[in-house]
Amino acid sequence: MEVGTSKSPSNPAGTVDHGDPDPFQWDTREDCQVRQILDRVADKWSLLVIALLDGRCWRFTELRREIDGISQRMLTVTLRQLERDGLVKRTVHPVVPPRVDYELTPLGRTLHTTIRSLVMWTEDHQGEIAAAREAYDAAREAEMAEREAEAAARKPEAAAREAEAPTRESEAARRAR
């Protein structure tokens, strides 16, 4: 598998040649390891499970209760994937009411740290994001209103004329469909 996407050094019109000083050039191909693992790790439920799991053991039902909105199915599936990836250890106690404990592996604990920092980022900046969203939406709405005003100022004459005396052109256009 060569890095087939030969990024031709020739730049398309107008882009500056910055010589790509980025040393952070990871494998961007769709089927590469990093992309696959990232998909798993960045999965909604995986993220929450890893973030929740700390030092101690958790029972299945306990996790289910703690993660609001997760279905039994998705918790099972997610835990299995995490177990397969070596991030979570599953321990079955062969007792009469079945009991299963889940806990982070050492590898999982290293990921836990990273993911927690992502969660903390989210907590720290949720205000800014909410504000940005409001600003964006407000701007869009203002834009829409302006456009409508423009249209309302222009169309009425045309629409009125059209209503009274449909032009031959417009009729022809309608028939064309």
Partner DNA sequence: CTGTATCCTTCTCGATACTG
Partner DNA sequence: CAGTATCGAGAAGGATACAG
Interface residues with DNA (CB under 7 A) are 12-13, 43-45, 59-62, 69-74, 76, 79-80, 90, 92, 97-100
Q: How far is the CB of 73 from DNA (least distance, A)?
A: 4
Binding track over 25-44 against a copy of itself, x by CB under 8 A: -x-xxx--xxx-xxx-xxxx
Amino acid at 4: G
Hey, what amino acid is at 98?
Answer: P
Distance CA 50, CA 80 (A): 13
- The CA distance from 51 to 112, in Å, is 6
Distances (CA, A) of 143 to 4, 108, 121, 147: 43, 47, 32, 6
Between helix 106-164 and helix 44-52 the angle, nearest 10°, is: 140
Nearer to a copy of itself, 27 or 171 (CB): 27
Query: What is the binding site for a copy of itself (CB under 8 A)?
Result: 3, 5, 7, 12-16, 18, 22, 24, 26, 28-30, 33-35, 37-39, 41-44, 47-48, 52, 54, 56, 59, 61-62, 65-69, 83-87, 97, 99, 107, 110-111, 114-119, 121-123, 125-126, 128-133, 135-137
